[in-house]
Amino acid sequence: MSDPVEALVLDLLQWLGHKPRRYSEVMEAWRTSCPRLPVWEEANSRGFVERQHEPGGEAYVRVSPAGLAYVETHRAAAQALPAQWSKPASLKSGRDA
């Protein structure tokens, strides 16, 4: 995975894990104004994330079925990265740190 955006999209999906996170938390951590690293925008355009919002409640973001499939197909490549590039175990498994 030589494209930094591809690697960061995978990081975003793994960070989200299997449970919804607050939209505000996701935007604080992943939104960028850098045109070379459009991680959030790329994940959205590929349909890898879904937003849920109930009237009167807070908006949440979760990994879509397409995003889960992407993680599964790219997990082996991500795990083959050198140790200094690996995410902490808590983020790999989708648990909060």
Model pLDDT for residues 6-30, shown as the tens digit of each residue: 888 999 999 998 889 999 998 888 8
Q: How far is CA 68 from the centre of its chain?
A: 10
Whole-angstrom Cα distance, residue 19 to residue 3?
Answer: 27
Q: Write the pLDDT tens digit of every residue in 17-75.
A: 888 999 999 888 887 767 667 888 899 999 999 999 888 999 999 999 999 999 988 87
| pTM for this predicted structure | 0.69
Whole-angstrom Cα distance, residue 11 to residue 35?
Answer: 18
Whole-angstrom Cα distance, residue 81 to residue 7?
Answer: 10
In order of their start, the domains of the chain are: 4-82 (1.10.10.10)
Is the CA virtual torsion 46, 50, 53, 57 positive or negative? negative
Q: Is the pLDDT of residue 88 over 60?
A: no
